[in-house]
Amino acid sequence: GQSLEQPSEVTAVEGAIVQINCTYQTSGFYGLSWYQQHDGGAPTFLSYNGLDGLEETGRFSSFLSRSDSYGYLLLQELQMKDSASYFCGSDKLIFGTGTRLQVFP
């Protein structure tokens, strides 16, 4: 089976950088995706890492190390609108419990 673990909550201030970690216990793992979900909203796709290393998309980057069973989402130049829940998921469609990010002025 698979399980993915994330911190439950992270706080930061506007303009800062924050890293949300995702560690996993799994077999047959190929890649890691990240989704953002605002309160009352639908999850929206952010990124997918099918290979080890860093993927950059604007202010957001995602990293995967399959040898360490670990990945993270890096958010730079934080804005108030980044306050949301972020969750990682495997390509077996198993998800982490989500990390609630609160950005303060």
Contact call for residue 95 and another protein (CB under 8 A):
yes
Contact call for residue 33 and another protein (CB under 8 A):
yes
Question: Which residue's structure tokens are 């506007």?
Answer: 14
Contact call for residue 45 and another protein (CB under 8 A):
yes
Cβ partners under 8 Å of residue 8, min gap 6 = 97, 98, 99, 100
Q: What phi and psi, each to the nearest 5 degrees, are found at residue 27? A: -120, 150
Stretch that binds another protein, among 17-25, 53-61, 64-72, 84-92 (CB under 8 A): 84-92
Contact call for residue 15 and another protein (CB under 8 A):
no
Contact call for residue 10 and another protein (CB under 8 A):
no
Strand-pair category, 18-25 with 3-5: antiparallel
Contact call for residue 62 and another protein (CB under 8 A):
no
Q: DSSP code of 82?
A: G
Measured CA to CA, the distance from residue 101 to residue 86 in angstroms comes to 7
Contact call for residue 7 and another protein (CB under 8 A):
no
Contacts with another protein, residue ranges (CB under 8 A): 4, 30-33, 41-45, 48, 50, 87, 89-98
